[in-house]
Structure 1
Amino acid sequence: MSVKNQSRAMLLGGAAVLLWSTVATAFKLSLQWLSPLQLLGWASLFSTLVLAIAVSWQHQWGALCSALKARPVYYLLLGAINPAIYYLVLFRAYDLLPAQQAQAINYTWALTLSLLAVPLLKQPLRRRDMIALGGGYLGALMIATRGDLLALDFDSGEGVALAMISTLFWALYWILNARGTAPATVMLLICFLVGTPLVWALMAWQGELGLPSWRALAGAAWVGLFEMGVTFMLWLGAMRSAVHVSRVSNLIFLSPFLSLVFIRYLLEEPIAPATFIGLAMIICAVIYQQRGGEQNES
């Protein structure tokens, strides 16, 4: 049982949010040298290695084997979604769209979760959910059209569609993930042990094997470590250490705005005013929806 320490929780949570805020920039930089499939292949490999080290450190290989043996089909499905399908769709969206658009649209996955919960979890769609969905998706449309809502003129219609589809897969992954009983790090490593070979098999089929440049590998390593691996463990540690979990979880709302800072100054991508407005709409919608859930539970 972990010792509760709010200062430690805030420090770990802040570190996780800061690292997550860099990944949209890392995606775009890495995609200058790698295809979406290659970036996924190398990043998932780095993530698998760091997660394997974590599981070894925690002496949880027995739990991993037991979990995989008990529910192989379940973990095959999870691994196919994350990392394989979800990140392939997401990276393709980033390849087609400005980083500010792809990262903001992807942030609507929390809203998509409530939609999928209706058929999959038999949960009713409340009035609060519908208001949040309307506001959040209007914000996503604001970002995708750079504020010209009536013209519906996208930088890439395919990119916007893929960014939206990625939210479906991410929400589906978390719905299925909630049904698991293994420790969180163990579950994540199983997913990568299943999904990474699938990605590499697809790379071989597409003829995209080969050793990339050191810059490409550095970018993939950053994505693998800080989008898929180390950051997840920092966040998990923050949640376990927190006395007041809500104070830590609210830090996540800083991430998309910090991400815009990195996008602006490292990618030198001008941030459209519509991006700030749309992102604020999405975050307000998510907060509004989540607070409704907390009130219902209390």
Structure 2
Amino acid sequence: MTGPQERQRATALGAISILMWSALALLTVLTGKIPPFQLAAMTFAIGAIVGGAWIIAQGRALRAAMAWPPRVWLLGVGGLFGYHLLYFVALRQAPPAEANLINYLWPLLIVLLSAPIGGERLRAWHLGGAVLGLAGIVVLTLGRGEVGFAGAHWPGYLAALGCAVVWAVYSVTSRRFGEVPTDAVAAFCAAAAVLAALCHLAVETTVWPATTGAWAAVAALGVAPVGAAFYLWDIGMKRGDIRALGALSYATPILSTALLVAAGRAAATPTLLLAAALVVGGAVLASRDLWRRAA
């Protein structure tokens, strides 16, 4: 049974993964022209090495991280690799703005699924917080003036919706596999790296990083957004407040955009502040139980 303090700690660790994911867009831009599946293979491999090093440093056997029944592998590899596969398809078959908007239904789905799958009690403020967060993303996307859903892109829209469903189901269902330690994520990352490499060899031409900075960006991606973030997210989903983390997840695109602005890769707009206010308000509302407990 998870106690209040452990629950708060696990939620905080899950929130750190959200901060790490906010650097995903900027770091990806800094990697240069590396094809998507090749980049996924490289970064998942680094993420697996990070997890493996942690397991060894803790005095545990690597083999133990792999000894799980097929349903555990299906959930882990299906969640990590399945999400990225659908995401790449969505970006190729639909405009990025629309694809990302649909993809970011996953935090709302996490909140909605927290009751039937995660065993949480869903209150009005949890749902309200998630809806506010979604409103923030809609404001951010519409503020760019880039959205115009067209019927010709429906395969990409479906793939983006698949992204949202896969990641939400993977995240919340992890709660039902609480007996599986986070060490197993290292094995999932390794399997995802192999699958991504196979997809790369089948459909892409290899392009290696052109500069030292690009190599550093690849390494940073593998260590944090595609490495440590998955381990922390696993802890948060298994022992933290799923509803609060779902609403907090809407901070990812806001922080991501802010980082791009700070790095001179995007322009600041008034809608960014409004979107940020909606997301923060939604996160505070959905995390009401945690604030009460802390008080």
Do they superpose with TM above 0.5?
Answer: yes
Match of 1:241 in 2: none
- What's the CA shift for 1:40? 1.0
Match of 1:242 in 2: none
Structure 1 segments unaligned to the other structure (5+ residues)? 5-11, 238-249
Going from structure 1 to structure 2, the CA distance change for 1:171 and 1:208 (only over 3 Å counts) comes to: same
Mapping for residues 218-237 of structure 1, pairs under 5 Å: 218-230=216-228
Match of 1:203 in 2: 200
Q: Deviations over 1:169-208 (max 9, x none)?
A: 3222222222332332x12102112222111121122244
- Note if contact 1:80-1:198 (Cα within 8 Å) is conserved in structure 2: no
- Note if contact 1:43-1:224 (Cα within 8 Å) is conserved in structure 2: yes
Q: Deviations over 1:230-257 (max 9, x none)?
A: 45668999xxxxxxxxxxxx99998665
- What's the CA shift for 1:58? 1.5
TM-score (norm 1): 0.68
Aligned residue identity for 2:134? Y
- Note if contact 2:47-2:223 (Cα within 8 Å) is conserved in structure 1: yes
Distance 1:137 1:252 in 2: 10
Going from structure 1 to structure 2, the CA distance change for 1:34 and 1:92 (only over 3 Å counts) comes to: farther
TM-score (norm 2): 0.69
- Note if contact 1:42-1:217 (Cα within 8 Å) is conserved in structure 2: no
Going from structure 1 to structure 2, the CA distance change for 1:207 and 1:218 (only over 3 Å counts) comes to: same
Structure 2 segments unaligned to the other structure (5+ residues)? 6-12, 236-246
Match of 1:35 in 2: 35
Distance 1:117 1:211 in 2: 41
Q: Deviations over 1:123-182 (max 9, x none)?
A: 67543344334323222221221177xx96469x77887666534332222222223323
Distance 2:281 2:158 in 1: 23
- Deviating more after overlay: 49-58 vs 139-148: 139-148
- What's the CA shift for 1:275? 2.7
- What's the CA shift for 1:43? 1.1
Secondary structure of 1:229 counterpart:
helix
Q: Deviations over 1:84-107 (max 9, x none)?
A: 122344466678537xx95x9866
Going from structure 1 to structure 2, the CA distance change for 1:209 and 1:255 (only over 3 Å counts) comes to: closer
Distance 1:42 1:232 in 2: 15
Q: Confirm or deny that 1:73 pairs with 2:71.
A: yes
Distance 2:43 2:204 in 1: 18
- Note if contact 2:251-2:279 (Cα within 8 Å) is conserved in structure 1: no
Aligned residue identity for 1:37? F
- Note if contact 2:44-2:222 (Cα within 8 Å) is conserved in structure 1: yes
Going from structure 1 to structure 2, the CA distance change for 1:142 and 1:92 (only over 3 Å counts) comes to: farther
Going from structure 1 to structure 2, the CA distance change for 1:163 and 1:295 (only over 3 Å counts) comes to: farther
Please give the root-mean-square deviation of Cα atoms over the aligned residues, in Å. 4.6
Distance 1:263 1:69 in 2: 41
- What's the CA shift for 1:273? 2.0
Going from structure 1 to structure 2, the CA distance change for 1:251 and 1:170 (only over 3 Å counts) comes to: closer
Match of 1:173 in 2: 170
Q: Confirm or deny that 1:286 pairs with 2:287.
A: no
Q: Deviations over 1:214-270 (max 9, x none)?
A: 455433222111212245668999xxxxxxxxxxxx999986655444201324311
Aligned residue identity for 1:22? A
